[in-house]
């Protein structure tokens, strides 16, 4: 049963990702992206990471996708059907990405340590465990990311607002 | 929510690799800078998927990998905020989102 | 006495440091204030001079102790494998005497300059240069090794250039400065080659070490690759003094150097810098001694030739400073041949007395030029003695001193040189020296009688110079008078300046011998000097001998002398024809071959860049693409290298650490 669920969402995610990078319409790309996020979120659930899945849905599918759509709307010019085309070097890009995939696939498939099925999941409450880790072992990165978010917020505001000419 | 998984680690990793490489292709090939940003998000998701999958298969009694994924999400949120702000700032001065014209590093 | 003074000797570095400090102060702080600049400069040189006197007193008191053990204070400057260089000071009789002479002349000249340079726009610059020169020259004489000496050697050359070209708005001054610099450069190149030759064989440039290595033993000579090698080195080293001390054929720059302010001529081109060559030969005298006898004979011959050569030119010159310049050349020749015939002490003695009276005469000439508003031709002067009594009298003392009339300083030193030449078996050189003494007396007499006695010119309104100028004249006149008497107690200057090289219990030279005064020889040279003065008196005052008639009888000779043997013209011809021809060939080579290669390289570079430029698109996407492709390719290359794909270890391959 879970295998079927896995393949449904895995294929959904990969296919949507494919759509993101191949669609000529940037708005379609944005929607495909949201779909990919949903697919990945489902995979998180399958991996017992329910909290991460929730965050994924909230942050990515909700906030990021919406921001991307806003950016698209703010910067869109001309015909939306030709808004996201490939550049001249797309062939090389395809070659490199393909080659990398082949290499990674070879690494994954030839590594016998990874050819395993999952054991029983022993963590009872992921959210509680996560919070405990974040506020103990990962205290400093946690605070640092708080600062980072603040800085990113201010930076984004300043960048988007622009500097007045007379200053 | 305890699924009895019959799908192995390798399969998850392969899905992650696919997402990553598709994102990479997008980064290389897309003309629209917003599309490039989306592709980067794809790549970050692929990484997150790997973190969570490794956590599930190799460390069943801990959520360390999930913590890492959480940090990546935080970074991605910051990245997308700043990135899109940059796109808008560039668009304001250059009136374009076409990466072919983003060539100020030239010569 | 020796041990008490020892700590003082270690402070010898302060002597050059003071003028350096003054140079920096003037250049960076007091430049705008004329009075302060002069005060700083003079104060510094006077303090240095005072210290030099203190050291000199100590050295005289120490007697032979300091000859055996010169006080060397040095710090390590550079120490890399195969090259160890020290920077330091050496206090021995030779350097002490030079410190005294340089300090005296430099301080007199600086005081004099206050009067002479009055109102000059470059006042502060002038004193800054003077201080820099004093620093370089004082550093030169106390250098402990050849490289240190060479550095200061070049520095005095630089100061000479700066001061000759001091009035750079005058074309002739600029040209003279360039000429002096280029000509001495030729000599310096030889000197540098010689230093390198020495270093490549001995691995040290320290005077004491060199002497110890060379001294005596067959081992030292074998190390040196035999006498031939030393001789070659000695000749190369001697090229430096030829240039600096204006020996034939590199003498041409010195007369032109008179374009600088007259005090500069007195300081640099008469009393101190030009004797640096003589001093250098004295310092490295042991090298000449170990060289084949030809080396010293060459020094002697060249010195004697320069002496008579320059003296004959001086007879026919009209410019007061040029006469003095050729006289300087002639006297430098004297010092050289004194070294050549083997009397280091006589040479040093003459160096000292010459510094006194030549500085005196140059400053006197400056006083005259100052009074006559830049007139330098002696035929435009006349009757100056009455109008300028102090200048006239002191100048007369200088003339008597250089002519070798007792008891003035020149008599003692010149006599010592001549007797050394005869006693060491060089009769021809003795004869040349004697005749040069006669010529010297004649042309100095001519200069004096024409300029200072003779009829007054009514268009001139000379007046005595200010005290700033006359006081140094008087002090120098005092030294010119009594300076020679230091030799009296033992009739030999060697009592004071003996050689400093004393290794393995073997005194290599400069043995202090009680050489009696050769009164007979002294009498002959005094006669020759007097004869010269009398002949000059008869020619130019009583006019019993008509100068014009003599010139008319030998028009060729007169013309030859007047034009300084056409040496400048010969050089010009060589430069115009031979050098230009070579230059044209080299120019063609440069344009077509060298530039061709360079241009070819440039074209290849440009072509390559033109091609590679396309790679540089300025688009980050392209860069990222290349980056990733390269990572993948490198990864694949490693895995292929390790044999099989199944051996892939992602952690190891991607730089992960377990």
Domain match, A140 and A73 both: no
Q: Is residue A3 part of a domain?
A: yes
- Residue C94 C-beta-side C-alpha neighbours within 13 Å: 30
pLDDT at B4 over 60: no
Q: Is residue B3 part of a domain?
A: no
Residue A87 touches partner C, C-beta closer than 8 Å: yes
Q: Is residue B63 part of a domain?
A: yes
Q: What is the pLDDT of residue C222?
A: 58
C645 interaction partners in chain A (CB closer than 8 Å) = 106, 110
Q: pLDDT digits over C128-180, tens only? A: 898 999 999 999 988 888 888 899 999 988 988 888 888 888 888 888 888 88
Find all residues with CB under 8 Å of A113, minimum gap 6, and list them: none
Helix/strand/coil percentages in chain C, nearest 5: 75, 5, 20
A17 interaction partners in chain B (CB closer than 8 Å) = 18-19, 22-23, 42
Residue B103 touches partner A, C-beta closer than 8 Å: no
Print the domain residue range for A131.
Answer: 125-167
CB count within 10 Å of CB C567 equals 15
Find all residues with CB under 8 Å of C369, minimum gap 6, and list them: C262, C320, C321, C375, C376
B24 interaction partners in chain C (CB closer than 8 Å) = 628
| pLDDT grade for C292, boundaries at 50, 70 and 90 | confident
Of B27, B104, B107, the CB nearest to C621: B27
Ordered DSSP codes for C126-153: HHHHHHHHHHHHHHHHT-SBHHHHHHHH
Q: Is residue A113 part of a domain?
A: no
Subunit contact B45:A40, Cβ cutoff 8 A: yes
Of A71, A114, A121, the CB nearest to B13: A114
Domain match, A63 and A137 both: no
Subunit contact C624:B100, Cβ cutoff 8 A: no
Return the residue in C617, C623, C626, C629 with the most chain A beta carbons within 10 A, the one to mutate for interface testing: C629
Q: Are C17 and C140 in contact (CB under 8 A)?
A: no
B37 interaction partners in chain A (CB closer than 8 Å) = 68, 71
Find all residues with CB under 8 Å of C632, minimum gap 6, and list them: A96, A99, A100, A103
Q: What is the pLDDT of residue C341?
A: 83
Q: What is the pLDDT of residue B101?
A: 77
Which CATH number does the domain housing residue A11 bear? 1.20.120.1200
Across A62-66, C385-389, C649-653, the highest mean pLDDT is recorded for A62-66
Q: What is the pLDDT of residue C509?
A: 41
Q: What is the pLDDT of residue C64?
A: 65
Q: Is residue A134 part of a domain?
A: yes
Return the residue in C615, C635, C644, C650 with the most chain A beta carbons within 10 A, the one to mutate for interface testing: C650
Residue A25 touches partner B, C-beta closer than 8 Å: no
Domain count, chain B: 1
A25 interaction partners in chain B (CB closer than 8 Å) = none
Of B1, B25, B71, the CB nearest to A141: B71
Neighbors of chain B by Cβ distance (3+ pairs < 8 Å): A, C
pLDDT at A50 over 50: yes
Provide the chain A residues 130-159 that lie in CB contact (below 8 A) with chain C. none
* Average pLDDT of chain A to the nearest whole number: 87
Q: What is the pLDDT of residue C221?
A: 57
Angle at C441 between CA C440 and CA C446, to 5 degrees: 100
> Which is more confident, A39 or A2?
A39
Of C617, C624, C625, the CB nearest to B106: C617
**Tokens standing for B18?**
């696919």
Q: Is residue A67 part of a domain?
A: yes
Q: Is residue B107 part of a domain?
A: no
Q: What is the pLDDT of residue C224?
A: 56
H helix or E strand, kind and range, residue C71? strand C71-80
- Angstrom CA distances, C442 to C30, C195, C246, C308, stand at 47, 41, 22, 13
Q: What is the pLDDT of residue C490?
A: 52
Subunit contact A96:C628, Cβ cutoff 8 A: yes
Q: Which residues pair with C506 in a beta bridge?
A: C503
Return the residue in A102, A107, A108, A113 with the most chain C beta carbons within 10 A, the one to mutate for interface testing: A107
Residue B59 touches partner A, C-beta closer than 8 Å: no
C646 to chain A nearest CA, in Å? 5
**Tokens standing for A31?**
């929607």
pLDDT at A26 over 80: yes
B99 interaction partners in chain C (CB closer than 8 Å) = 619-621
Residue C519 touches partner A, C-beta closer than 8 Å: no
Q: A123: nearest CA in chain B?
A: B61
Q: What is the mean pLDDT of residues C88-99?
A: 83
SS3 C72: strand
**Chain C residues contacting B, CB < 8 Å?**
613, 616-621, 624-625, 628
Subunit contact B56:A49, Cβ cutoff 8 A: yes
Q: Is residue A95 part of a domain?
A: no
* Average pLDDT of chain C to the nearest whole number: 80
Subunit contact B25:A94, Cβ cutoff 8 A: yes
Q: What is the pLDDT of residue C210?
A: 78
Q: pLDDT digits over A68-123, tens only? A: 888 888 887 777 777 778 888 888 889 999 999 988 888 888 877 777 877 788 88
**CA–CA separation, C100 vs C113, rounded Å?**
20
Q: pLDDT digits over C433-482, tens only? A: 888 888 888 888 888 888 888 777 777 777 777 888 888 888 888 888 88
B58 interaction partners in chain C (CB closer than 8 Å) = none
Q: What is the pLDDT of residue A41?
A: 93
Q: Which of A81, A104, A134 is the last residue of a domain?
A: A81
B16 interaction partners in chain C (CB closer than 8 Å) = none
Q: Is residue A150 part of a domain?
A: yes
Phi, psi of C405 (to 5 degrees): -95, 125
In this structure, of B20-24, B49-53, C284-288, C350-354, the range with the lowest mean pLDDT score is C284-288
**CA–CA separation, A12 vs C60, rounded Å?**
107
In this structure, of A60-69, B45-54, C48-57, C286-295, the range with the lowest mean pLDDT score is C286-295
Provide the chain C residues 54-113 that lie in CB contact (below 8 A) with chain A. none
**CA–CA separation, C228 vs C219, rounded Å?**
15
Closest by CA position to C176, among listed C186, C160, C164:
C164
Across A144-153, C190-199, C270-279, C566-575, the highest mean pLDDT is recorded for A144-153
Q: Is the ipTM of this structure higher than 0.90?
A: no
| pLDDT grade for B44, boundaries at 50, 70 and 90 | very high
Q: Which residues pair with B30 in a beta bridge?
A: A86
Across C63-77, C208-222, C402-416, the highest mean pLDDT is recorded for C402-416
Region at C618 (left for phi over 0; alpha for psi -120 to 50; beta for the rest): left
Q: Which of A81, A99, A116 is the last residue of a domain?
A: A81
Q: What is the pLDDT of residue A149?
A: 92
Q: Is residue A149 part of a domain?
A: yes
Name the DSSP letter for residue C455: P
Q: pLDDT digits over C620-645, tens only? A: 888 888 888 898 888 888 777 665 55
**Tokens standing for C93?**
């009789």
Q: pLDDT digits over C175-221, tens only? A: 888 888 888 888 889 899 988 888 887 777 888 777 777 765 555 55
Write b or e for each residue in B37-56: b if 16 or more Cβ atoms lie within 10 A of its Cβ, otherwise e: bbbbbbbbbbbbbbbbbbbb
Name the DSSP letter for residue C507: E
Of C629, C635, C645, the CB nearest to A96: C629
pLDDT at C517 over 60: no
Q: pLDDT digits over C488-505, tens only? A: 555 445 555 544 433 333
Of all residues in chain A, what percent carry a pLDDT higher than 70? 97
C621 interaction partners in chain A (CB closer than 8 Å) = 87, 89, 93
Closest by CA position to A109, among listed C529, B12, C186, C260:
B12
Q: What is the pLDDT of residue C657?
A: 36
- Residue C606 C-beta-side C-alpha neighbours within 13 Å: 6
CB count within 10 Å of CB C546 equals 11
Subunit contact B67:A130, Cβ cutoff 8 A: yes
Of A52, A111, A148, the CB nearest to B69: A52
- Torsion angle of the four alpha carbons C370, C375, C378, C381, in this order, in degrees rounded to the nearest 10: -70
Q: What is the pLDDT of residue A166?
A: 58
pLDDT at B71 over 60: yes
Q: What is the mean pLDDT of residues A6-23?
A: 92
pLDDT at A146 over 90: yes
Q: Which of A81, A96, A115 is the last residue of a domain?
A: A81
Domain count, chain A: 2
| pLDDT grade for B70, boundaries at 50, 70 and 90 | very high
Q: Is residue A117 part of a domain?
A: no
Which CATH number does the domain housing residue B25 bear? 1.10.287.3510
Q: Are A47 and A119 in contact (CB under 8 A)?
A: no
Q: E strands along C486-570, which residues?
A: 502-503, 506-507
Give Dmax (Cα) for chain C: 120
- Torsion angle of the four alpha carbons C472, C476, C482, C483, in this order, in degrees rounded to the nearest 10: 130
**CA–CA separation, A58 vs A66, rounded Å?**
11
Q: What is the pLDDT of residue A95?
A: 92
**Chain B residues contacting C, CB < 8 Å?**
24, 27-28, 36, 99-100, 102-107
Q: Which residues pair with C79 in a beta bridge?
A: C84
């Amino acid at each position: 049963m879970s295998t079927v669920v896995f393949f449904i969402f895995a294929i959904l995610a990969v296919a949507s990702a494919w759509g993101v990078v191949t669609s000529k319409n940037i708005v379609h790309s944005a929607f495909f992206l949201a779909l990919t996020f949903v697919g990945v979120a489902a995979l998180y659930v399958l991996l017992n990471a329910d909290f991460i899945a929730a965050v994924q849905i909230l942050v990515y599918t909700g906030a990021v996708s919406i921001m991307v759509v806003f950016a698209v709307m703010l910067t869109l010019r001309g015909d939306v059907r030709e808004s996201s085309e490939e550049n001249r070097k797309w062939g090389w890009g395809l070659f490199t990405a393909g080659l990398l995939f082949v290499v990674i696939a070879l690494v994954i498939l030839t590594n016998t340590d990874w050819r395993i099925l999952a054991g029983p999941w022993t963590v009872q409450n992921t959210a509680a465990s996560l919070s405990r880790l974040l506020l103990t072992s990962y205290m400093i990165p946690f605070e640092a990311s708080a600062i980072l978010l603040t800085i990113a917020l201010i930076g984004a505001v300043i960048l988007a607002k622009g500097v007045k000419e007379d200053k | 929510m305890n699924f009895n998984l019959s799908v192995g680690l390798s399969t998850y990793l392969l899905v992650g690799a696919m997402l990553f490489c598709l994102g990479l292709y997008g980064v290389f090939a897309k003309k629209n800078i917003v599309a490039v940003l989306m592709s980067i998000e794809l790549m970050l998701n692929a990484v997150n998927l790997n973190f969570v999958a490794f956590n599930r298969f190799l460390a069943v009694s801990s959520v360390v990998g999930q913590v890492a994924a959480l940090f990546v999400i935080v970074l991605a949120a910051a990245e997308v905020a700043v990135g899109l702000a940059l796109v808008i700032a560039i668009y304001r001065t250059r009136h374009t989102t076409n990466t072919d014209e983003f060539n100020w590093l030239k010569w | 006495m020796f041990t008490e003074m020892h700590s003082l000797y270690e402070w010898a570095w302060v002597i050059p440091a003071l003028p350096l400090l003054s140079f920096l102060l003037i250049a960076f702080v007091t430049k705008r204030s004329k009075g302060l600049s002069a005060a700083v400069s003079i104060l510094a040189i006077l303090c240095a001079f005072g210290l030099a006197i203190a050291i000199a007193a100590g050295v005289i008191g120490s007697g032979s102790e300091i000859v055996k053990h010169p006080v060397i204070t040095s710090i390590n400057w550079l120490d890399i494998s195969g090259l160890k260089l020290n920077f330091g000071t050496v206090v021995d009789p030779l350097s002490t005497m030079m410190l005294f002479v340089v300090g005296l002349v430099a301080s007199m000249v600086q005081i004099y300059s206050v009067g002479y340079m009055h109102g000059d726009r470059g006042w502060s610059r002038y004193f800054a240069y003077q201080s820099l020169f004093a620093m370089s020259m004082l550093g030169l004489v106390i250098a402990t090794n050849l490289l240190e000496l060479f550095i200061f050697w070049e520095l005095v050359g630089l100061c000479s250039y700066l001061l000759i070209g001091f009035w750079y708005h005058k074309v002739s001054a600029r040209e003279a400065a360039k000429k002096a610099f280029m000509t001495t450069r030729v000599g310096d190149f030889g000197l540098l080659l010689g230093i390198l030759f020495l270093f490549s064989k001995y691995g040290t440039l320290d005077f004491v070490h060199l002497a110890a290595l060379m001294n005596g033993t067959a081992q030292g000579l074998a190390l040196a690759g035999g006498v031939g090698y030393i001789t070659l080195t000695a000749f190369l080293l001697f090229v430096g003094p030829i240039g600096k001390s204006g020996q034939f054929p590199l003498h041409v720059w010195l007369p032109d150097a008179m374009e600088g302010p007259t005090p500069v001529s007195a300081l640099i081109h008469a009393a101190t810098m030009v004797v640096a060559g003589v001093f250098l030969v004295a310092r490295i005298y042991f090298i000449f001694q170990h060289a084949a006898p030809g080396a010293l004979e060459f020094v002697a011959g060249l010195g004697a030739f320069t002496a008579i050569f320059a003296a004959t030119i001086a007879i026919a010159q009209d410019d007061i400073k040029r006469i003095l310049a050729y006289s300087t050349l002639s006297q430098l020749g004297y010092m050289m041949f004194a070294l050549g015939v083997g009397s280091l002490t006589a040479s040093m003695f003459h160096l000292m007395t010459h510094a006194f009276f030549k500085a005196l005469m140059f400053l006197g000439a400056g006083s005259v030029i100052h009074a006559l508003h830049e007139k330098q031709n002696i035929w435009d002067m006349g009757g100056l003695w009455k109008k300028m009594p102090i200048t006239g009298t002191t100048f007369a003392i200088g003339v008597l001193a250089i002519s070798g009339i007792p008891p003035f300083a020149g008599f003692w030193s010149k006599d010592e040189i001549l007797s050394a030449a005869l006693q060491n078996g060089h009769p021809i050189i003795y004869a040349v020296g004697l005749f040069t003494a006669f010529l010297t007396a004649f042309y100095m007499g001519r200069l004096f009688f024409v300029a200072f006695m003779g009829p007054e010119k009514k268009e001139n309104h000379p007046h005595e110079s200010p005290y700033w100028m006359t006081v140094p004249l008087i002090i120098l006149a005092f030294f010119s008078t009594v300076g020679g008497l230091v030799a009296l107690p033992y009739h030999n200057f060697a009592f004071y300046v003996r050689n400093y090289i004393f290794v393995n219990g073997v005194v290599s030279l400069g043995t202090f011998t009680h050489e009696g005064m050769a009164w007979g020889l002294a009498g002959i040279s005094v006669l020759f000097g007097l004869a010269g003065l009398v002949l000059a008196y008869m020619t130019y005052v009583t006019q019993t001998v008509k100068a014009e008639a003599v010139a008319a009888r030998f028009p060729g000779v007169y013309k030859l002398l007047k034009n300084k043997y056409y040496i400048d013209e010969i050089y010009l011809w060589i430069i115009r024809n031979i050098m230009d021809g070579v230059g044209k060939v080299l120019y063609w080579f440069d344009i077509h071959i060298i530039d061709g290669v360079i241009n070819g390289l440039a074209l290849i570079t440009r072509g390559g860049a033109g091609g590679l430029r396309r790679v540089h698109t300025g688009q980050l996407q392209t860069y990222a693409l290349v980056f990733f492709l390269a990572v993948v390719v490198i990864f694949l290359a490693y895995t292929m290298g390790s044999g099989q794909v199944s051996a892939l270890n992602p952690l190891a391959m991607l730089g992960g650490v377990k």
